[in-house]
Amino acid sequence: MITAQVESLSERLGELMPLFPEHYKELALNQDQVPLDPQYDEYLRRDAAGAVMLVTLRDMGRLVGYFVGFVAPGLHYRTCLTLTMDIFWVHPSHRGGRAGFVLFDAVEKEAKRRGVQRMFVGSKCHKDASFLFERRGYDRCEVYYTAWLGDAADAAREAA
């Protein structure tokens, strides 16, 4: 049975970390230039401040997905408590059914409990999950683009 629950990032980070390389390998762009190297100290600092939301997805206790988001007033909208998705992932063996809906049911419930007024989520174009958000009634509001500008050494040489 698939369940979703709010958990502490500080307490679950060790369990989450083995899944990050698979998530990265599947979804990250420019992997040959940008290695997976999370700033765990910053995640833990924000978690200690109550600004991180972790919702895990489990199948009979086994971790099969997660949502990590940041809860804070918007920089442009001081009075609007906002949840901004950092990452979410569902193991490929659990996609196509209700797992994503179970996960986001729990995310929305916890966000409301915390007093969040607005939530921002996103989807990779090359591994599109926008159908999940559209089926949940989310509005499309922005599209991001990316360009690889080279490594830091190239940028430093060009600046000199």
Given a cut of 70, whether residue 156 has pLDDT beyond it is no
Q: Whole-angstrom Cα distance, residue 66 to residue 90?
A: 7
Per the structure, the complete domain to which residue 109 belongs is given by: 2-159
As for how many domains the chain has, the answer is 1
Q: Whole-angstrom Cα distance, residue 119 to residue 110?
A: 12
pLDDT band at 158, cuts 50/70/90?
low
Q: What is the CATH number of the domain that holds 47?
A: 3.40.630.30
- Classified as helix, coil or strand, 149 is coil
**Cα–Cα distance list, 116 to 5, 16, 31, 73, 110 (Å):** 18, 25, 34, 9, 9
> What are the tens digits of pLDDT across the range 12-35?
999 999 999 999 998 898 888 889
pTM over 0.85: yes
Which residues are registered as beta bridge partners of 113?
none
Quick one: average pLDDT of 109-126? Answer: 92
